[in-house]
């Protein structure tokens, strides 16, 4: 998430009640997760397992709960007892929750010849391009960006909160929501089927590329980036922060693990489970998804087991 303006270290420190170490005179551009950070971003870390990764990331500003570190040159450290709570303070300050009394927010931008049917909800700072059709009972939540010639079928929710929680078993309630301040971007000529759900990015964007088509009842997790001209059939579920490259086809009920990559023009056959990254230009099947031709041979041999057993045992 980018801040509306550059924000000085002293203002951030005051907001989260932090002690500033390292470079004290600097301006932050925004806040992001570790796998999405850019130069000028704030990132938080609260577990020793990830200290090194965060300190050596592209983040310029790091919220951390220890002083027992070597501060990389040019970086600013915000020392606090609870980095996750500091993250939430920043998110709530720069992107606070706002209730809405009308179905379509007054600040929505809607392009020429776009049709918005009855019972559609459109939230805060949404942008919709030209020649789009939004069918009844669609919910388009805050900061969503929709290109031109996009179709969204009934019952779909665009921009719901990420299924993303900070876990501490010392708390009475173990799982605390990491509030989402990212958004969803639907590029030109995207079509979304009925009753789909697309989660917003936690701090960045969930992106559906130009020309991609989703069937009914598809779920896309937070921060997932789907390329151009992909085809995704009914009941596919894609977990967060996954990359699906251009031209990929996922047939019905395929499940895709988080933080992996499916290569360009790959085809994954129905009911397969993608647990690891897949190369492009191949057909996959099974759980875990593997080269479909090899998987079919395995199935043939499995069917022959009783016959082979009978021969061995006489």
Positions marked catalytic: 222
Tally of CB atoms within 10 A around 249: 17
Pair 29, 69: CB distance under 8 Å? no
**Which residues, in sequence order, are CB contacts of 143 under 8 Å at separation 6+?**
123, 124, 125, 126, 159, 182, 183, 200
The 3-state DSSP class for residue 306 equals helix
Q: Give the dihedral of Cα atoms 246, 251, 255, 259; nearest 10 deg.
A: 0
Q: Give me the helix-helix angle, 292-303 and 305-313, nearest 10°.
A: 40
DSSP 115-145: EE-TT-EE-TT-EE-SS-EE-TT-EE-TT-E
Alpha-carbon distances of 210 from 150, 200, 231, 245, rounded to whole Å: 10, 18, 11, 12
Instruction: Please choose, from the candidates 105, 287, 88, 126, the residue with its C-alpha nearest in 3D space to the C-alpha of residue 202.
Output: 88
């Amino acid at each position: 998430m980018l801040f509306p303006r550059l924000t000085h270290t002293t203002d951030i420190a005051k907001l989260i009640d932090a002690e500033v170490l390292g470079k004290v005179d600097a301006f932050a551009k925004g806040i992001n997760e570790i796998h999405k950070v850019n130069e000028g971003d704030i990132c938080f870390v609260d577990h020793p397992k990830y200290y090194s990764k965060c300190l050596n990331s592209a983040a310029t500003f790091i919220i951390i709960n220890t002083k027992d570190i070597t501060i990389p040159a040019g970086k600013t450290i915000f020392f606090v007892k609870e980095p996750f709570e500091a993250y939430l303070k920043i998110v709530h300050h720069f992107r606070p929750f706002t209730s809405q009394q009308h179905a379509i927010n007054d600040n929505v931008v809607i392009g020429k010849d776009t049709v918005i049917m009855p019972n559609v909800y459109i939230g805060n700072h949404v942008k919709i391009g030209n020649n789009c059709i939004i069918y009844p009972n669609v919910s388009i939540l805050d900061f969503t960006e929709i290109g031109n010639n996009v179709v969204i079928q009934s019952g779909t929710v665009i921009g719901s909160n990420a299924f993303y929680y900070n876990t501490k078993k010392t708390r009475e309630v173990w799982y605390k929501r990491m509030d989402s301040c990212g958004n969803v971007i639907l590029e030109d000529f995207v079509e979304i089927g009925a009753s789909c759900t697309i989660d917003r990015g936690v701090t960045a964007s969930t992106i559906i590329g130009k020309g991609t088509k989703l069937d009914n009842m598809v779920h896309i997790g937070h921060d997932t980036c789907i390329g151009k001209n992909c085809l995704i059939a009914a009941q596919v579920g894609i977990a967060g922060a996954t990359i699906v490259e251009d031209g990929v086809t996922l047939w019905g009920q395929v499940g895709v693990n988080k933080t992996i990559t499916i290569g360009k023009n790959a085809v994954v056959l129905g009911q397969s489970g993608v647990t690891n990254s897949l190369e492009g230009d191949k057909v996959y099947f099974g759980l875990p998804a593997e080269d479909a031709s090899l998987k079919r041979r395995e199935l043939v041999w499995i069917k022959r087991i009783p016959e082979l057993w009978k021969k061995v045992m006489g």
